[in-house]
Amino acid sequence: MQTCLYPINDLLPHAPPMVLLDEVLGWDHGQVMTAVTIRNDSIFFTEGKGVPIYIGLEYMAQTCGIYAGIETLNAGQPVQPGYLLGTRNFLGETEWFSLGSRLVIDAKEVFRQERMAVFDCKIMRGDQMVASAQLNLFQAENNLLEAHRNE
């Protein structure tokens, strides 16, 4: 895997506090790995429980967005918003990500046609897989966004 040369905040069209991931561990053609450590200052943290497992879907979606962001910036283009269209086969092995847990999110592209893509994603806590899903995504173009804003 290659080292990502961009700051994580430059790879997503989100503003803090909605950039939920801490770092990009590496990327390569068709794959990206990110990480997040569960802290009590997360906007989704519940005292005594942690972060709910379903937030893992957003961790996965942002990981896919980071992959798109790296490709886009490498091509000299601005980062574009992406949309999660659907999720298949979500599997969670726990109800909560506990305080202090370091999660590694791995996203592998399995299909792409123009601006549509499908990624197989998993979240690991150490050697244990704690969540997995297949995400269907769409990435907008600048001219599509501008046309929508002008309606």
- Please check whether residue 1 lies inside any domain of the structure: no
CA distance 63 to 59: 6
The parent domain of residue 42 ranges over 8-149
Residue 74 lies in a domain: yes
CATH number at residue 145: 3.10.129.10
Question: Does any domain span residue 91?
Answer: yes
> Which residues, in sequence order, are CB contacts of 124 under 8 Å at separation 6+?
103, 104, 105, 106, 130
Count of the separate structural domains present in the chain: 1
Residue 3 lies in a domain: no
Angle 145-43-122 from CA coordinates, rounded to 5° = 75
CA 3 centroid distance within chain? 17
Write down the pTM of the prediction.
0.92
pLDDT in 10s for each residue of the chain, 151 residues: 999 999 999 999 988 889 999 999 999 999 999 999 999 999 999 999 999 999 999 999 999 999 999 999 999 999 999 999 999 999 999 999 999 999 999 999 999 998 899 999 999 999 999 999 999 999 887 644 444 444 5
